[in-house]
């Protein structure tokens, strides 16, 4: 019996996009925002660059366009409820940092609000303007100008996912408010 069944095309992206859910922070003047995003990826090592999908209709996108900067925070299991909440609320209507009691630090290079509590890492990014890609696909590119990680889960350039740091295990959005978490490391053996 073949266990493979057709997948509706509107769900096809979920098959390949269960990488870590991230929090995108932004600020322009006195205005700030935080949102959840499921679609992000590295695109270059040197200099480090990333891509993240930020819908052009969002308050975050407005702030990113105004400031030319954005932050990426990588929440762990400890921040799953917060991640879902900030991904389900518009920053146009309320300051989500105040509403949800989110403590933030000021980024060392760009001064962005960054979240460490319940998060495994953060990155400060300078927007790389790509008007066509931003308009057509809502994809924004950023050059990473600063980064930090909780050494309990990421040290010496490697993830260390084990029972001792379960609250920091990254979360991966599966759709409809459901997440999976990274729970252990499995090492490949040479063939």
Average pLDDT over residues 3-28: 82
Residue 49 pairs in a beta bridge with 44, 143
Q: Is the CB of residue 181 less than 8 Å from the CB of residue 29?
A: no
Average pLDDT over residues 19-45: 95
| Cα(167)–Cα(75) distance, integer angstroms | 9
Question: Which alpha helices (H) appear in the chain, and where do they start and end?
Answer: 13-16, 59-67, 80-86, 96-99, 131-137
| Cα(127)–Cα(146) distance, integer angstroms | 13
The pTM for the full model equals 0.92
Give the tokens for residue 47: 């200099």
pLDDT in tens, 111-169: 999 999 999 999 999 999 999 999 999 999 999 999 999 999 998 898 899 999 999 99
Sequence-separated (6 or more) residues with CB below 8 Å from residue 140:
51, 52, 53, 54, 61, 64, 70, 127, 130, 133, 134
CATH architecture of 4-181: Roll (2.30)
% of the chain with per-residue pLDDT over 70: 96
pLDDT in tens, 105-123: 999 999 999 999 999 999 9
Query: What per-residue confidence (pLDDT) applies to 169?
Result: 96
């Amino acid at each position: 019996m073949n266990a493979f069944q057709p997948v509706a095309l509107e769900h096809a992206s979920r098959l390949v996009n269960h990488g870590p859910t991230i929090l995108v922070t932004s600020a322009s003047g006195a205005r700030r925002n935080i949102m959840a995003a499921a679609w992000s990826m590295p695109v270059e090592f040197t200099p480090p660059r990333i891509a993240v999908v930020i819908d052009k209709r969002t308050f975050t996108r407005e702030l990113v366009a105004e400031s030319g900067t954005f932050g990426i925070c990588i929440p762990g299991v400890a921040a799953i409820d917060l991640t879902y909440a900030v991904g389900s609320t518009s920053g146009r209507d309320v300051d989500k940092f105040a509403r949800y009691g989110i403590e933030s630090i000021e980024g060392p290079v760009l001064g962005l609000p960054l979240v460490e509590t319940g998060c495994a890492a953060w990155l400060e990014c300078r927007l790389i303007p790509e008007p066509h890609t931003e308009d057509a696909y809502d994809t924004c590119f950023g050059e990473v100008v600063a980064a930090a990680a909780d050494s309990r889960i990421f040290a010496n350039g490697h993830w260390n996912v084990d029972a001792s740091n379960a609250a920091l295990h990254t979360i991966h959005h599966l759709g409809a408010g459901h997440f999976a978490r990274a729970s252990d490391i499995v090492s490949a053996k040479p063939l």
